[in-house]
Amino acid sequence: MPANKEVPVYLFLGFLEAGKTKFIQETLMDKRFNSGERTLVLVCEEGIEEYDPSGYPSKNVEFRTIEDMSDLNEANLQRLVDETRAERVVVEYNGMWLIKELFNAMPDGWAIYQVMFFADASTFLNYNANMRSLVVDKLNMCELVVFNRADRGMDAMEYHKIVRGVSRRAEIAYEYKDGGIAYDDIEDPLPFDIEKDEIVIEDRDFALFYRDIMEEPAKYDGKTVTFKGLAARNPKFPPEVFAMGRNVMTCCVEDIQFCWFVTESDDPSKRRERGWSIMKAKISVQKHKFYRGKGPVLHVIEITDSAPPEKEVATFY
């Protein structure tokens, strides 16, 4: 296929025996999806379920197994696409591998089209308790979370909170043991009023605010926001630009990272090199080189030095 042609990638995440194979098998048997495009299925984790191509409406499906992470590299993935002449790729990913390993290995032209996460409702809470960083790694990326083998009487709120602690974007579905399916409809209001022209972010809510504005920046465009943050500066920044943000922990100490906004002011007295400040700023969603595309740029209205918050590391809980 032409080197510059985009290759759609459908990514299915989850731990062993989570139902990934069953769902992919059913998808490949659906003529609306499997209508003739040459499809490469990369199997990175083999469980009890097996693929059965005999019922596929199109036979243009090739399977390849990647058992070792060392084989997850750009040269090998490109070789498999060339060998099968695939027009798209379906990935059944290994739940014990970080997603960045796949992203780092993806050849030029591969584009993620859809990401789904599958979990066995009867074992998910144990995975979350013992392998939280791997759970967060998967939930961060997905558009749909499916809890299968669910009991109708189970407490959905516990599952809901775990997903929403990582992503407000992902849809949540429950597939019950009797075959029924229900979608999560638990309302999850933000702890601040997004309808106001001026939004005040409490210290405890910074992580939620940061995630929400980065996921849906358009709804904040033109708003004024006030929050306490940590200023920082990089020698690569132009004079009018500094970073304003907080250290955020998603699940554990190892994943703490500085989550910041591009912040600008033409007035030197309203810039900060380092340290804690309370800032009031106008949000403009625009292209900026530090975002490598569009993102929220904060234009300082007022800024004053401040003591650190009670908890310097922001969390989602």
What is the per-residue pLDDT for 4? 60
Averaged over 282-311, what is the pLDDT? 94
pLDDT tens digits, residue range 116-157?
A: 999 999 999 999 999 999 999 999 889 999 999 999 989 999
Compare 5 and 260 and report the one with higher pLDDT.
260
* Mean pLDDT, rounded, for 199-220: 94
- List of long-range contacts for 230-237, beta carbons under 8 Å, 24+ apart: 230/258, 230/274, 230/275, 230/276, 230/312, 231/263, 231/272, 231/273, 231/274, 231/275, 231/276, 231/277, 232/258, 232/260, 232/273, 232/274, 233/272, 233/273, 233/274
The third-level CATH classification (topology) of the domain covering 198-314 is OB fold (Dihydrolipoamide Acetyltransferase, E2P) (2.40.50)
CA distances from 12 to 63, 144, 222, 241, 306 (A): 15, 10, 37, 40, 45
Q: Do domains 7-183 and 198-314 have the same CATH topology?
A: no
pLDDT at 169 over 90: no
| Domain spans, the chain | 7-183, 198-314
pLDDT of 198 reads 95
Say how many residues make up the chain.
317
Fold (topology level) of 7-183 = Rossmann fold (3.40.50)
Mean pLDDT calculated for residue range 289-296: 89
Q: Is the pLDDT of residue 2 over 60?
A: no
- pLDDT mean across residues, the chain: 92
Give the type of residue at 72.
Answer: L
pTM: 0.68
How high is the pLDDT of residue 201?
97
